[in-house]
């Protein structure tokens, strides 16, 4: 009986691992006047994404620098938006957006 339970547990873990995807956050918007840069990623609701923000953070820093600001800092929290729902109002696809605030303006 223990072997059956262990096998079912291992199969369940394998199924969960199969649903984990890798995502990279991309620049998706922002405001130069407000010094805000937005990074987003999208994923199907059945997935459990592992998100790499490193390339996006580097792009956010470069965007802030191009706008005359110093590096960007992550705002607290993320905004989730349902992009697609099924007839039962369950979300099928999500977009998650992180906002970065460009810090003080660089000296001329």
Q: Over the stretch 34-44, which tens digit does the pLDDT of each residue have?
A: 889 999 999 99
Instruction: Tell me if 13 is assigned to some domain.
Output: no
Q: What is the mean pLDDT of residues 24-49?
A: 88
Q: Say what the pLDDT of residue 20 is.
A: 60
- Give the pLDDT mean for 67-83: 82
**What is the reported pTM?**
0.68
Whether 60 is covered by a domain: the verdict is yes
Confidence of residue 46 (pLDDT cuts 50, 70, 90): confident
Q: What is the DSSP letter of 32?
A: T
Residue 10 lies in a domain: no
In a domain, 99, yes or no: yes
Is residue 100 a part of any domain in this protein? Answer: yes
Domain span holding position 49: 20-105
Q: Is residue 36 part of a domain?
A: yes
SS3 content of the chain, % helix, strand, coil (to 5): 30, 45, 25
pLDDT band at residue 106 using 50, 70 and 90 as cut-offs: low
pLDDT at position 11, please? 35
Q: What secondary structure does DSSP assign to 34-71, as a single string?
A: TTEEEEEEEEETT---EEE-HHHHHHHHHHHHHTTEEE
Domain total in the chain: 1
């Amino acid at each position: 009986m223990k072997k059956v339970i262990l096998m079912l547990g291992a199969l369940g873990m394998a199924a969960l691992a199969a649903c984990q995807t890798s995502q990279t956050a991309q620049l998706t918007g922002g405001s130069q006047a407000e010094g805000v840069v937005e990074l987003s990623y999208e994923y199907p609701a059945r997935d459990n994404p592992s998100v790499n923000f490193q390339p996006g953070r580097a792009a956010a820093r470069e965007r802030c620098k191009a706008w005359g600001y110093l590096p960007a800092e992550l705002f607290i929290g993320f905004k989730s938006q349902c992009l697609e729902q099924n007839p039962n109002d369950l979300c099928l696809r999500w977009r998650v957006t992180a906002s970065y605030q460009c810090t003080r303006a660089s000296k001329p």
